[in-house]
Amino acid sequence: MARRHEIRLCGRGGQGVILAGHIMARAAAIFEHKNATLIQDYGPEARGGACRTDIVISDDRVLYPYLSNPSVLMAMSQQAFNQYCPVNRDDTVVIVEESILRPGMARGKKLLAVPARKIAEELGRGAVANMVMLGFLTAVTGIVSVKAMKDSILASVPKNTEELNTQAFDRGYAYGLEKISTTPAKGKAT
């Protein structure tokens, strides 16, 4: 049976959420030869307003590109989480920027918190928090391979930022591997 993954990435305009979605969809479609679609949505304010990108990755053709029940939800801002996080199925992996974590915001789900902003600032550029989140998502879900993600990052980010972006991805990936080896029972924030 073919696998279908529905992934929603959301945050504020300017956080690189749309770029992160583009990188993930490109990694799946171009570098892993899977079928992938990407739909993006952002408010008229563009910078600062909530935005999201929805990705469907499947072994078979994607006949319906909209999400019906996300298997992965990644939120980089509280506003975007509130606006774009539907009632999820019980096994939805919910990944949030650690600084937006609110107790009880995703009860019954696999909730994982990532200090992406802090890690990005340690690397000297807060703007790469989206790459930290992508690295973490790659580690905890395995939907797309590390090699495909790195190839997609190198093909997608501006010239002369490749090293910083891959470092951020690597730090997020390492944090994700560490996190999945110590994750408690479902529904508890970590």
53-57, 74-78, 87-91, 98-102: which range is least confident on average? 87-91
CA distances from 8 to 21, 24, 37, 84, 158 (A): 8, 11, 12, 8, 24
Location of structure tokens 């930290």: 132
Tokens of residue 180, six digits = 């999945």
- pTM, rounded to two decimals: 0.90
Residue 56, phi-psi category: left (phi > 0), alpha (psi -120 to 50), beta (remainder): beta
**How many Å apart are CA 117 and CA 132, to the nearest integer?**
8
Q: Does the pLDDT value for residue 188 go beyond 60?
A: no
Residues 95-118 have pLDDT tens digits of: 999 988 765 566 556 889 999 999
Q: Is the pLDDT of residue 36 over 90?
A: yes
CA distance 76 to 50: 10
Model confidence at 1, pLDDT cuts 50, 70, 90, reads low
Fold topology of 4-180: Pyruvate-ferredoxin Oxidoreductase; domain 3 (3.40.920)
The residue type found at 167 is: Q
Instruction: Report the distance separating Cα 80 and Cα 1, nearest Å.
Output: 33
Q: For residue 184, is pLDDT > 80?
A: no
The pLDDT value given to residue 48:
72
Residue 135 tokens read as: 């690295």
Q: Where are the domains of the chain?
A: 4-180
